[in-house]
Structure 1
Amino acid sequence: MTYAPEVSVVIPTRSRPDLVTRAVSGVLAQTMDDLEVIVVVDGPDEGTVTALAAIPDHRLRVLVQPSKGGAPHARNTGARAARGRWTAMLDDDDEWLPAKLEVQLKLAYSARAATPIVASRLFNRTPRAESVMPRRLPGPDEPVSEYLTVRRGLFYGDGFIQTSTILAPAELFHRVPFTVGLRRQQELDWTLRAVRHDDVELVVAPDPLVIWHQDEDRERISLEMPWRQQLEWLQRSRDLFTPRAYAAFTMSVLSSMAAPTRSPKVFGELLREARTHGRPGAIDYLTFLQIWGLPPEVRHRLRDRVLGRGRTNRADAAR
């Protein structure tokens, strides 16, 4: 009989052996040990396979894809191979705090819905500063699309979800796979499609349980700015957003990607998109104008000054 752990952890990776071994070590050090770790290597990668082979733990499984298919495809592969009742996602460049799974499972088993998505706050760590996100939890009966997109201040992170925080029943990842080929907003796309099902509920743990490493001196998908492709995804996905959320996403996240073009034509295009298909609020207009009016490095320094913490911080203490 095949052993079925309580939790399967899926980690997609490629050509980052040092980072993925750090991620795996954090999973194997969890305060609950009834788990398996499935590392999906996205294409032939001898260095990563060799590094993982040096980890002497029977709970680790390594699956090597025959060719590169991207992180969403690798996550789907891992989810299909998972044997646990619950599946948790972890990006190879992030870390979990030791009680992450234990805390989330308690919330999962006490959730109202039959199929809870349990996320958590995280420590957002950049080379300059650190902050805790999301800054607030979902309100009662608040549409998930609005919680994840509508700002209450000028900086992102009021409501937020990131892949490495997500734990859900294994069957939900079979029912709602990640969208293959989507470069950005993969977790937002997945969450909004999942919560459309009547039995699904989003729950956010109030404590930060993940360290989200935003190292800006190395290649990361989240540093890419494919605004045109993101606009096409947004237009295909209008039914996932309320009008308020649609305008907020267009005037904040999408505008942040497009603003480096400094193009008046693009400025007007996105403003029309938000006004025609969404319902902007005053904060959306303020956000839109500061994104287009201030250089990204100025906005980042201002955000870090207002929201950030120093490098000696609570995440190190928590670990």
Structure 2
Amino acid sequence: MGLRLVEKGNHSKRMVVFVAIFLITTLFILYNSNSVNESYEAFKVIGYNSATKNTDLKKWAGKDGYVPVFGNKSLTLHYKQCALVTSSSHVLGTGAGAEIDRAECVIRMNDAPTSGFEADVGNKTSLRVVAHSSVIRLVRKPQEFLNCTDCPSIIFWGPPTKIGRDANGALYRLIHRVAATYTNLSTFIVTPGKMHKFDTLFQRETGRDRQKSQSWLSTGWFTMVIAIEICDKIKVYGMVPPSYCGRHPQPKRMPYHYYKPRGPDECVTYLQNERGRRGNHHRFITEKQVFARWAKLYNISFVYPTW
């Protein structure tokens, strides 16, 4: 009798373990089959991709939103054809450098370098759009970004509390020191009014309030809008489509920046930011969904990858 009870108890335990393993395996399979393919649509579910109203960016544009750090220069750039070079690792191995340098205008972002990468990203820079968080990295490499004879224009963007004329903080003073030291550069700052317009544009194009949705606009957002303002035709190098990180099987690991091979993975960065709820995050995938719509309106094409 005692032996039967022991055997029955052991059988029950084995059944419990078997059921637990079965449930865990099932959940794992469901998670991998759904989350990988659908994770990039996280913000579609809550309405991020439902624009309230399309904006005519050619009418929305206004060069008055960019004020010179010194003097009375105005941003009156206009180009028929522009190359917008991202900092993505997808540009590596493309051999697109010569093609990029042939563009009438070459636009780069933040501290993405050309030295050592000329074969793939070119050497020419006509305009560089720089976030407040990247100013110090530019200053640390003056030979790469600041000390030049054929210098580009630089547009600095950031919260008015950090780079605005009324801020007079350390970052504001650093930008002024750069402009005063490297006089060959044409340096501009996005005005508070224009910064507000960028926020409003995000809300109109996505249906979501940037601040309430805990979003930070990326440098890519500012750069794309500025490119549309000044260029008739735009060719973007290295930007992946909105659905790229949701593919199955998942794309191979790619460093987020081509000049930081040991940096974070591109898709991990995109997905963590897109799904983040605590603290502010860049909504990279949401922005790319907007760029895909703009491409049809403003003569924008994407290469490496092509989409």
TM-score normalised over the length of structure 1? 0.29
Give the structure-2-normalised TM-score. Answer: 0.30
